Amino acid sequence: MMDHASSLGNKNKFLVFGCGFSGSYFAKTLKQFGCTVLESSRSKKKDPNCFVFDSTKNVVPSEEVFDGVTHILSCIPPDKNGNDPVLESLKSELKNLPLEWVGYLSTTGVYGNTQGEWVSEIDMPNPFQQRSQKRLNCEKEWLESDLPVQIFRLPGIYGPGRSTFEAIKNQKVRVIFKKDQVFSRIHVADIANAIIYLLKNKHSLKFHQIINVADDEPCSQIEVIQYCYDLLGLKMPKTILYKDAKNELSPMAQSFWIENRRVSNKLLCKTLGYKLIYKNYKEGLKNCFLNIQK
Ligand SMILES: NC(=O)c1ccc[n+]([C@@H]2O[C@H](COP(=O)([O-])OP(=O)(O)OC[C@H]3O[C@@H](n4cnc5c(N)ncnc54)[C@H](OP(=O)(O)O)[C@@H]3O)[C@@H](O)[C@H]2O)c1
C-alpha cells in the first residue's frame, strides 16, 4: 500500500468534490498515503480539510482552495437539469489550473438495458432512464472540457455502512425474484484503490478515458440477500415475485429492476492489471459483516 504513496507523491494536492460515500472513502484512502486532500460538502464542517461547495446555491470554494491543486475527483451526480454541477459552476477556474488529472464518477446506467448481456467500454451508451441520459450528458461535458479527464463507470456501490446488512437492520429488505435478472456491483474500497492504482501506474499504463469499475460476479439480488442472512444466522423472509412486488416499489426501485446487464471489468482487471480487493459480493459482504460487528 505505501508503495502507492511514494509513487503518487505527497507534492500532489487533491480536491474531492462531493464527499459522500465514495468520495470520502477515496479521500480517506489517499490521506493514508500522505497526499493533501481537500473535500467538498454542501454544509460547513469543522474539519479544516473540508470546504463548502453547493452548485444550487452558487456557493463556490475560495481561491486558496485551488492553490497548488494537481488532481480533482468529482463524485457529484448531475443536477436536475442534467448539467454537471462542478463544470457548471467552476469550469473556467479548473481550466486555469495546471491539472495533471481529473476523475469523474459516472454510472453504468449509461449502457441501458442489455437483457443480461455483458457491457464493456467499447459498447455504445444507450441510456434508457432519464437520469442516465442526464449522466451521459455530464460525461460528454467532461469529455469536451479539454481537461485531462478519466471517467469511471460504476454499478451499485456498497461497503461498510451501506450494504444489505443496513437494509436488513432497517427492515428495508424485499426478497424479490425476477427470472434471469442480475445486478453488477462494486465495493467502495475497490473504487478508491482502482483509481489510486491507475494514478500510481499512470506513466506505464496506456491511458483510457472511460473505465468500468465492477466486480467479477454480477448475480441476482436474492443470492446477495441470502448470503447476508446466512452470515447473520437468520432465516431469510419469503421470496416475492417481481410481478407481485412491482407496484409497491418506489419509482426509483422499479427503475433498477427494468434494466438487466452484466458489467465487464476486463479493461480494468485484465488489460490494465488492477487486482480487485473484493472480487465478488461474498468477499465484499464479509468485510461489511466484520464492520457491523465492531
Ligand atoms: N450509489 C450508487 O450505488 C451509485 C452507483 C453508480 C454511480 N453512482 C454515482 O457515483 C457518484 C458517487 O456515488 P456515492 O453514492 O458515493 O454518492 P453520494 O454518497 O450520494 O454523494 C454525493 C455527493 O455529492 C454532493 N452533491 C450533490 N449535489 C451537489 C451539488 N448540487 N453541489 C455540490 N455538491 C453536491 C453531496 O454533498 P453533501 O455531502 O453535502 O450531501 C455528496 O457529497 C455519484 O455521482 C453517484 O450518482 C452511485
- Please report where in the chains the cell 463544470 appears, as a residue: 87
The residue to mutate among 84, 131, 136, 157, having the most atoms of ligand 1 within 8 angstroms of its beta carbon, is 157
Dist. CA 283–CA 290, nearest whole Å: 11
State in Å: Cα 26 to ligand 1 middle: 13
Dist. CA 148–CA 136, nearest whole Å: 18
pLDDT in tens, 221-280: 999 999 999 999 999 999 999 999 999 999 999 999 999 999 999 999 999 999 999 999
Compute the average pLDDT of residues 67-80. 97
293 falls in which pLDDT band (50, 70, 90)?
A: confident
Measured at the alpha carbon of residue 13, what is the angle toward residues 18 and 104, in degrees to the nearest 5? 40
1 falls in which pLDDT band (50, 70, 90)?
A: very low
Residue type, 235: K
State in Å: Cα 20 to ligand 1 middle: 6
How is the chain split among helix, strand and coil, in percent rounded to 5? 40, 20, 40
Measured at the alpha carbon of residue 133, what is the angle toward residues 284 and 157, in degrees to the nearest 5? 10
Residue 10 has a pLDDT of: 72
* Whether the predicted pLDDT of 138 surpasses 80: yes
Give the distance, in angstroms, between the CA of residue 108 and the centroid of all CA atoms in the same chain: 10
Q: Whose CA is nearest to atom 12 of ligand 1?
A: 75
Q: Which atom in ligand 1 lies closest to the alpha carbon of residue 43?
A: 40
Beta bridge partners of 262: 118
Dist. CA 17–CA 23, nearest whole Å: 7
> Rg for the chain (alpha carbons), in Å?
19
pLDDT in tens, 113-129: 999 999 999 999 999 99
Compute the average pLDDT of residues 84-88. 98
- Tell me whether residue 171 is exposed, middle or buried, using C-beta atoms within 10 angstroms of its C-beta: 0 to 12, 13 to 18, 19 or more: exposed
CA dihedral 247, 253, 254, 255 (to 10 degrees): 160
Q: Whose CA is nearest to atom 46 of ligand 1?
A: 77
